[in-house]
Chain A
Amino acid sequence: MAYEWHRPIEGRWISFTALTFLAIVVGGLVLLIPPFYMQGTIEPVEGMRPYSALEVEGRDIYIREGCNTCHSQMVRPFKTETDRYGHYSVAGESIYDRPFLWGSRRTGPDLARAGGRYPDSWHWLHFVDPRNIEPRSNMPAFEFLTERPLDTSLTSRRLATLRRLGHPYSDAEISGAAQAAARQAESVAASLRADGIALDETQARSEAIALIAYLQSLGRAMKQQAATTALVGEAR
């Protein structure tokens, strides 16, 4: 029979296991290794900076609450997508994303360009109850984030861990991370109060503040980049 050649390895488990390993390892090596040596995937876009201490805290809250299960952060290069969200996503803007948060399902809209789209107060009211702002929304209410104080006991260690992975934080940024987070939180709180939202002591340093800071940072570098590109295009 045509498959007689196969019979010997069906009787030898070590050879069979070794051959199986060969079969499953090739594809991974070819697909996973080369991108680490490709410039476009490892160099930041111009104007890219690592997340600030408060943004790191906000990003980790975004992860904790599973925001990525409903919101993508990956704009595809179609006109209908760039019209809706902004510049399509490029590799160099996610080099400080550990983990990446591109998502796989848009139950809600893409957030890759969320930064600066709405005022801080919009986000605050939207967390308290999304149906305050959009009655048809099916997003859960996250009012508890506005009542729970942000824990900054790990902020320095978060930044230190990220530096060990290659993010360019200075010693001062790491040692002063909690204070820097508090300062940025104050400015977010000030903008909320300016929009007429009354905040008590706890709310002014709540987890929602950190999450707002993170959301407002999204896609900012690419927006500057896009503006520059447009000018260059006109000159040509």
Chain B
Amino acid sequence: MDDRSAPAGPVIYDMGVVRGFAISTLLWGGVGMLVGLLAAIQLAWPELNFPPYLHFGRIRPVHTNAVIFGFTLGAVFTGTYYAVQRLCRVRMYSDLLSRINLWGWNAIIVAAAVTLLLGKTTSKEYAELEWPIDIAIAVVWVVYGINFLGTIAIRRERQMYAALWFWIATVLTIAMLHIVNSMALPVSMWKSYSAYAGVHDANIQWWYGHNAVGFLLTTPILGLMYYFLPKQAGRPIFSHRLSILHFWSLIFIYIWAGPHHLIYSPLPDWAQTFGAAFSVMLILPSWGGMLNGLLTLRGAWDRVRTDPLLKMFVVGLTFYGMSTFEGPMMALKTVNSLSHFTNWTIGHVHSGALGWVGLTSFAVLYYIVPRLWHTSLYSVRLAEVHFWVATLGLVLYVTPMWVSGVTQGLMWRAVNPDGSLAYTFIETVSAIRIYDVIRAFGGALFVGGAFIMFYNVWMTIRQGTAEAPAPDALAGAAPAVAGGR
């Protein structure tokens, strides 16, 4: 495998699959965020539940599945199919596998949306889909894994760049988590019972759930950051040594932290303590990644002022740093006793999901789309507007959720001088309603920003062409286009 002679001609990268995923990512992003907005509105105005299909209990998993598996994973597919070919200097291992991945995955998301609205659910968070879809996910994921690792195997570049490490970890870990956690015995086509019961089911579910955050919303996004931030900034990554250190420590430590979702539960205490301790340890590798990204901009900070993509990367990394500090704090037993079961958790998730994953994915798509359609972005100004609207929405989402969570947590534990409970449950619901309203407004801004992006991308695609320009037209093109189409 060391025989990697130079290619005879220019390598023709497969950008068709990237275009497909770019469009489906935006589509599912739009659907998932709108459904999330509806869910937020329903919490403040319960009359806007429309049973049987459109009530909170059924649409909440539609929201999470669409934004995690449709939008985020879509952005990961888009970014990896784009970057792997370039980092390996070869076309994808198999065009057929790429197409199966693209169409198979989108069929899965359609099936997910339909079955969840019909109430076909296992109820396990972020693993709600029933067994036939779970099998399809496993198959398509293995297809992706073979295609991805196959491309690395036939690469014409000796060293594997750090971005590839994070994606290798993603491919392996998600396969392991999904297969183990989805084990179930079917009753019928759309109903099954978990292979695990009670405490064991909880333990395995949150090993899965926490590491879905780790290996769907963290490592692949870090991989995107490692490739696209240096590209956009025109500077090499700050420290290779830091990449090595934080990669290995991150993937090793992450797996242990799942039980922090089960603190003060009937899970054996030693496991809860492992979860809390490893969560605190996670601060270092997480911040290693944040710092490696931010310090890559040394000497290029002036460009952040004028470049909305760099702004998104910077704010994304900052939110990554904040939420990976907040998470370990919430894993401490004393803090968790207050924060658990409250909106603080939802706010924490969204500071990572909207801030880190959302803004980074937006930046990557803004980077890729003009290159896929051989043109420049329709409007940098609109991208700038998107950045500010999204950031404002983010702040208006996360801040009221902190206040709401702490308020309700304190009210639950408040006692009168005689030791009796000070508030009924419904009083704690009424007290946080105003924050649900503000949160819905913040969420609406974030969705609005995304729709500004959709318009911008639509106009960019309209002015561009999927066909590669004639070779001589390539002479002055951006480096990313050179050497292929």
Contact = CB atoms under 8 A, between A and B. Distances in A.
A131 B194 CA distance: 35
A35 B57 CA distance: 31
B258 A31 contact: yes
Given A65-B119, A158-B187, A32 B168 contact: no
Interface stretch (B249-257, B362-370, B442-450, B455-463): B249-257
Contact of A24 (B172, B186, B413): B172
Nearest to B261: A104
B102 to A, nearest CB: 24
A20 B215 CA distance: 13
Contact of B278 (A27, A41, A97, A141): A27
A140 B43 CA distance: 9
Contact of B268 (A38, A99, A130): A38
Interface in B265-285: 265-268, 271, 274-275, 278
Contacts of A65: 55, 57-58, 119
Interface in A149-202: 154, 157-158, 161-162, 164-166
A13 B176 contact: no
Interface string B58-89: 10110000000000000000000000000000
Interface stretch (B5-13, B22-30, B200-208): B200-208
A138 to B, nearest CB: 4
Contacts of A131: 46
A121 B406 CA distance: 35
User: Which of A99, A106, A131, A161 lies at the interface centre, i.e. has the most chain B CB atoms within 10 A of its CB?
Assistant: A99
B177 to A, nearest CB: 8
A232 interface: no
Given A3-B241, A138-B429, A154-B188, A24 B196 contact: no
A225 to B, nearest CB: 14
Contacts of A67: 57
Contact of A7 (B159, B258, B259): B159
Given A7-B159, A27-B278, A137 B429 contact: yes
Given A84-B412, A140-B57, A142-B51, A99 B123 contact: yes
Interface string A85-125: 00001110111111111111111110000000000000000
Contacts of A140: 42, 46, 49, 51, 55-57
B125 interface: yes
A139 interface: yes
B188 A102 contact: no
Interface in A54-85: 60, 63-70, 72, 74, 76-78, 80-81, 83-84
A32 B165 CA distance: 26
Contact of A10 (B124, B149, B159, B248): B159
B204 A98 contact: no
Contacts of B124: 99
Given A24-B255, A35-B267, A41-B199, A78 B185 contact: no
A66 B160 contact: no
A75 B414 CA distance: 17
A104 B341 contact: yes
B425 interface: yes
Q: How large is the interface on A (under 10, 10 to 19, 20 to 34, 35 or more residues)?
A: 35 or more
A68 B124 CA distance: 9
Contacts of A109: 425
A98 B160 contact: no
A130 B425 CA distance: 14
A80 B413 contact: yes
- B contact face: mostly helix, strand, loop, or mixed: helix
B51 A141 contact: yes
Contact of A89 (B123, B194, B266, B343): B266
A100 B197 contact: yes
B133 interface: no
A81 B421 CA distance: 9
B235 interface: no
Given A32-B203, A80-B413, A104-B125, A13 B119 contact: no
Interface in B288-331: none
Given A84-B421, A89-B266, A3 B244 contact: yes
Given A31-B203, A99-B205, A63 B244 contact: no
A147 to B, nearest CB: 10
A17 interface: yes
Given A90-B266, A94-B266, A66 B123 contact: yes
A236 interface: no
B342 A17 contact: no
B160 A28 contact: no
Nearest to A22: B252
A154 B187 contact: yes
Nearest to A106: B341
Contacts of A2: 241
A154 B197 CA distance: 21
Contacts of B186: 161
A66 B121 contact: yes
Q: Which of A20, A139, A162 is the most central at the interface, judged by chain B CB atoms within 10 Å of its CB?
A: A20
B346 interface: yes
A102 B43 contact: no
Interface in B206-260: 207, 240-241, 244, 248, 251-256, 258-259
Given A10-B160, A20-B165, A161-B186, A141 B252 contact: no
A25 interface: yes
A132 to B, nearest CB: 13
A131 B430 CA distance: 13
Contacts of A11: 158-160
A139 B176 CA distance: 37
Contact of A165 (B52, B185, B199, B420): B185
A24 B58 contact: no
Nearest to B430: A136
Q: What 5 pairs across the A-B complex have the smallest Cβ distances? A: A66-B57, A94-B198, A27-B255, A140-B49, A64-B119
Given A68-B123, A76-B340, A138-B46, 10 more contacts: A3-B241, A13-B155, A20-B251, A25-B176, A31-B274, A32-B207, A63-B121, A65-B55, A97-B198, A158-B193
